[in-house]
Structure 1
Amino acid sequence: MPTLLPHIIIDEQPLHYIDKGHGPVVVFCHGLLANCSMWQAQIDALSAQYRCIAIDFWGHGQSQTLPVGCDNLQDVAKHVLRLIDALEINDIAVVGHGSGGAIAAEMVLIAPARIHALVMLNSFVGFEPQVNCIKYQNFIAQVANAQAIPAELAVSLTELFFSKDAYELSQHNITLAQAIKAFEKQLTDIHTQQIAPLLKFANMAIYKRDTLESVEALTLPTLVAVGLNGYLRTALESYLMHDSIDGSQLLHIEHAGHLANIEKADLFNQHLIDFLAKVNFN
């Protein structure tokens, strides 16, 4: 049984998180279908110098419910800021993956004075392309009908999260093979009572608002990173965000997919450490 994570109560529901390390605070926001454990390699690399807070979002990991009235990613961003308030933290950097990157951007738009750096990995803050919405709605329908993530669907989803050649490479890479199996198991282990909150969060993530024009106003240090060999996000989307945010840095990660921070942990960690070293947290 996994260790029960600490939590705070937000609108009568528990929001769980990891809190490890000491120093300037870095908040990690996972994307749809992941959880805070996806950041373990980054927490291991950073926690000697930074206080790392990684959140299980509603319907994910140990945060298996969703508050009444939580209707969009702006609401989720406000919940993260309430967590930071509860921990009596003023200044942070935020790292977001997938829809967690959109949540991170919403946090900056809500509280720009408190957030001193932004990292978005395989994220896109514009409208989700319609072709993706149709595909994702098919997945949602399968989960809703089964009230679970069936094993066959879990395999298909896992394939989408890793690089296009990950399964071939995993034949000779035990660490990668273990990561693939762990993600697949994480999906099939989702509890029935978790399905409704997860599906609502999924719709919030898929049909998020377009903030491409809004982020043009951002002036904080920003790193936009994308795995070049994935199925879910594209290099073009990373260019669009990089162009929208003046002074942002762009990182293309070769031979990696949606979970580039896991597939290429050492490379991503080094870029993240170098980026954070230049951030003024005061």
Structure 2
Amino acid sequence: MSLQLTRKTINQHPLHYVDQGTGPVLLFCHGLLASSQMWQAQITELTKQYRCIAVDFWGHGQSKTLPERCENLQDVAKDLLDLMDTLEVSNFAVIGHGSGGAIAAEMVLMAPARVQGLVMLNSFVGFEPQVNCVKYQGFMAQVANAQAMPTALATSLTELFFSKDAMLLSQQNVALTQAIEQFNQQLTDINAVQVPPLLKFANMAIFKRDTLESVETLTLPTLIAVGLNGYLRTALESYLMHDCIDGSQLLHIDQAGHLANIEQAEFFNQHLIDFLSKVNFN
């Protein structure tokens, strides 16, 4: 069953988000080509003690537009802070995945007094390696040419988002099979209206600024998690961020790729709950 979304007008555009539970606030930020739905297993578990807010970023999920004045991930971070203002949430922890982790880091740099804890899953806050930029631009060019998500590309991208053994493991795992099918369907559902904002957001995510030196100033509790069997991010990148952020925790997730929170939901939830229990929510 899908998470139910509501919306607020932010930067003159409708931004859709999930808002469930009560207690200290957690803000979930998905990565490029994902949506708020990726956090279903976490929200189901964490709403027992937290208020969980999960956003569909511009060009993703139900947020099918993008403000004209949104030019980079810092602007996206500002829009999220505006959303939290609108919801009258002063302090919160942020859980970011992929480029959502980079946006989460921008929020901390922009409003350090408001963010109590930071989790980055399969994220990297340095420059995207050039080889990746070229590859990702090639994917986006196919979407631009088709003005939709080609079926073959959706299949290829889905394989990249899960672990290298996911297709084999899914033969004995119904839940994993469903997760793979749902993600593939989400990609194929991308339509012509959504393509221009999605492409602009993708460009912002791919060519994000390098904040590795900036995050050295962070002093808040930070958890850096990485799936060890994925295609899109490397353990080395997580080590670099762990070295830069003093006092951060590093979590390795076996048998998991980019969507490690889905593939190893119970393991990730357990460590996430443990981490959050040590965060001092004001």
- Provide the rounded CA distance (Å) in 2 between the counterparts of 1:184 and 1:3: 17
2:247 counterpart letter in structure 1: G
Alignment of 1:100-111 (within 5 A): 100-111=100-111
Counterpart of 1:86 in structure 2 is: 86
Counterpart of 1:179 in structure 2 is: 179
SS in structure 1 of the partner of residue 79 of structure 2: helix
2:157 counterpart letter in structure 1: L
1:65 counterpart letter in structure 2: T
- Provide the rounded CA distance (Å) in 2 between the counterparts of 1:52 and 1:97: 15
> 1:95-115 deviations in whole A, cap 9, x for unaligned?
000000000000000000000
Give the deviation of 1:8 after TM superposition: 1.1
SS in structure 2 of the partner of residue 145 of structure 1: helix
- The answer to whether structure 1 residue 50 and structure 2 residue 30 are counterparts is no
Q: After TM superposition, which residue ranges in structure 1, 4 or more long, deviate above 6 angstroms?
A: 1-4
Identity of aligned residues (%): 74
Structure 1 length as normaliser, TM-score? 0.99
1:12 counterpart letter in structure 2: Q
SS in structure 2 of the partner of residue 69 of structure 1: coil
Give the deviation of 1:88 after TM superposition: 0.4
- The answer to whether structure 1 residue 220 and structure 2 residue 190 are counterparts is no
- The answer to whether structure 1 residue 157 and structure 2 residue 157 are counterparts is yes
Indicate if the aligned counterparts of 2:3 and 2:18 stay in contact, CA closer than 8 A: no
> 1:30-71 deviations in whole A, cap 9, x for unaligned?
000000000000000100100000000000000000001100
Counterpart of 1:65 in structure 2 is: 65
Counterpart of 1:278 in structure 2 is: 278
Give the deviation of 1:12 after TM superposition: 1.7
- Provide the rounded CA distance (Å) in 2 between the counterparts of 1:191 and 1:271: 37
- The answer to whether structure 1 residue 267 and structure 2 residue 271 are counterparts is no
- Provide the rounded CA distance (Å) in 1 between the counterparts of 2:151 and 2:272: 34
1:219 counterpart letter in structure 2: T
- The answer to whether structure 1 residue 98 and structure 2 residue 101 are counterparts is no
- Provide the rounded CA distance (Å) in 1 between the counterparts of 2:3 and 2:125: 33
- Provide the rounded CA distance (Å) in 1 between the counterparts of 2:156 and 2:258: 14
- The answer to whether structure 1 residue 27 and structure 2 residue 27 are counterparts is yes
Alignment of 1:245-260 (within 5 A): 245-260=245-260
1:108 counterpart letter in structure 2: V
2:264 counterpart letter in structure 1: K
Give the deviation of 1:253 after TM superposition: 0.3
SS in structure 2 of the partner of residue 120 of structure 1: strand
> 1:207-255 deviations in whole A, cap 9, x for unaligned?
0000000000000000000000000000000000000000000000001
Give the deviation of 1:10 after TM superposition: 1.6
SS in structure 2 of the partner of residue 192 of structure 1: coil
- Summarize the Cα distance change of 1:4–1:43 in structure 2 as closer, same or farther, 3 Å threshold: closer
In the alignment, structure 2 segments of 5+ residues that lack a partner are: none
Counterpart of 1:128 in structure 2 is: 128
In the alignment, structure 1 segments of 5+ residues that lack a partner are: none
Counterpart of 2:13 in structure 1 is: 13
2:175 counterpart letter in structure 1: T
- Provide the rounded CA distance (Å) in 1 between the counterparts of 2:3 and 2:31: 21
2:257 counterpart letter in structure 1: G
- Provide the rounded CA distance (Å) in 2 between the counterparts of 1:169 and 1:10: 41
Counterpart of 1:201 in structure 2 is: 201
SS in structure 1 of the partner of residue 194 of structure 2: helix
SS in structure 2 of the partner of residue 18 of structure 1: strand
Structure 2 length as normaliser, TM-score? 0.99
2:249 counterpart letter in structure 1: Q
- Provide the rounded CA distance (Å) in 2 between the counterparts of 1:237 and 1:107: 20
- Provide the rounded CA distance (Å) in 2 between the counterparts of 1:242 and 1:105: 13
- Summarize the Cα distance change of 1:37–1:3 in structure 2 as closer, same or farther, 3 Å threshold: closer
- Provide the rounded CA distance (Å) in 2 between the counterparts of 1:140 and 1:164: 22
- Summarize the Cα distance change of 1:52–1:4 in structure 2 as closer, same or farther, 3 Å threshold: closer
- Summarize the Cα distance change of 1:55–1:203 in structure 2 as closer, same or farther, 3 Å threshold: same
- Provide the rounded CA distance (Å) in 2 between the counterparts of 1:243 and 1:12: 39
- Provide the rounded CA distance (Å) in 2 between the counterparts of 1:221 and 1:131: 32
2:17 counterpart letter in structure 1: Y
